[in-house]
Structure 1
Amino acid sequence: MSGRANSAESGGGAQANAPLTERGARTREKVLVAAREVFEERGFPDTRVAHIAHRAQVAYGSFYTYFPSKEAVFLEVADRLFAEMTDRGGVPASGASPAARIRRSNRSYYEGYLRNAKMMAIVEQVATFNEEFQELRRKHRATSITRTAGAIRRWQRDGLVPDDLDAEMTARALAAMIDHSLYLWIVQGDDTPDTQRLLDTLDALTHRALGLPDS
């Protein structure tokens, strides 16, 4: 199944791009909130536009005023999710030590993953078959990796990280380690002894992979 295939529930797509009134914007937001709730409860394949419309308390046809398909509303829900997950607002400023930045970054990501655990499980499900979603995911991942690679290059210029490390590939490898570890721990319920040990271990592995001290 491809995200570019026509949805059986598509319709009224031309209206979805029309300018919204203030009331329309509120209704659209209500549809988005309802869509996330239903996706989390039913999963992506079993969710229908009718379920979302019912939860949002809008007419079935009104859904198509705002979104051309179930796939479209899912993409926007996921886009918001990824933006929140990769937000670094709580990470210390660049003047902080690498260890402090890594520690806060890992915990910020963990906290976001924990808040969004149900949706992250759906994300993994949809990533196996929807091409548009895969592209959206790649875009957000690339943004996060570019930011991490930039930090690694700065630390290399400061003599803190070995020059022979490829900054981008290192950023990709570390992101994969952290992301998959949290997926197994939070979504799959892996038998990790406790969260603090897991996060401390991810910190230590990151520091040592970069050749940084643990503190």
Structure 2
Amino acid sequence: MPEAVAALTERGARTRERILLAAREVFEEQGFLDTRITHITRRARVAYGSFYTYFPTKEAVFFELADRLFEDMTTHEPATAATPAERIRGVNRAYYEAYRRNARLMAIVEQVATFNEEFAGRRRAHRAWHVERSARAIRRWQRDGAVDATLDPRMAARALAAMVDHSLYLWLVHDGGPDAGTLLDTLDALTARALGLPG
């Protein structure tokens, strides 16, 4: 937690949180480009000047919301499973649930990453962290003889993360559909086959 945030009074912390919650609602409804600070302050029911007590810009409040989202997307990992296939299944489902909770904001995140270079750097760093975590698991499974030893762990992790991430983006942000179970089972199977796990 930033020192400035930690130093807020209890009332100030509540006001700041109200601004963040209002900003998320407005971003999700209107998108980043069409959101104005006045929209956020009206939704939060605070004076316009109060926004600047806690955030210097619209970008700053969005970046904090995105950091919270990235944390939520990566901290709901299931307990260690007995086999790589079980681990893949658990991770995919935990990620799906986090994506489903955050789908509307994820759509805005992907939008902003296309034109704001500072934010694009944050998005890349989040992806790199996620990929490296997966690459470590693949290396471990290769040492254990469970996964194809000829695969480049980082490249495999990047490709598989892109498949899962984009599939969920299309499913939850664009296409939709009632049968998420089939989608997840398919992603599990494709991941296992790509890694050379027994089918």
Q: What TM-score comes out, normalization by structure 1 length?
A: 0.87
* Partner in structure 2 of residue 84 of structure 1: 72
Tell me the CA shift for residue 193 of structure 1.
7.2
Alignment of 1:46-195 (within 5 A): 46-89=34-77, 91-93=78-80, 96-189=82-175, 194-195=179-180
Given that 2:19 and 2:41 are in contact with CA atoms closer than 8 Å, whether structure 1 keeps it comes out as: yes
Unaligned runs of 5+ in 2: none
Greater relative contact order structure (CA < 8 Å, 6+ sep): 1
Alignment of 1:11-50 (within 5 A): 19-50=7-38
| Counterpart-to-counterpart distance in 1, 2:5 and 2:133 | 32
| Counterpart-to-counterpart distance in 1, 2:6 and 2:99 | 34
* Partner in structure 2 of residue 210 of structure 1: 195
Quick one: which amino acid aligns to residue 69 of structure 1? T
Tell me the CA shift for residue 74 of structure 1.
0.3
Q: What TM-score comes out, normalization by structure 2 length?
A: 0.93
| Pair 1:167–1:27, CA change in 2 (3 A) | same
Per residue, is there more helix in 1 or in 2? 2
**Runs of 4+ deviating beyond 2 Å:** 16-19
**How many residues end up aligned between the 2 structures?**
196
| Pair 1:101–1:197, CA change in 2 (3 A) | same
Superposed CA RMSD in Å reads 1.6
| Counterpart-to-counterpart distance in 2, 1:18 and 1:177 | 39
Given that 1:161 and 1:211 are in contact with CA atoms closer than 8 Å, whether structure 2 keeps it comes out as: yes
Unaligned runs of 5+ in 1: 1-15
Given that 2:148 and 2:197 are in contact with CA atoms closer than 8 Å, whether structure 1 keeps it comes out as: no
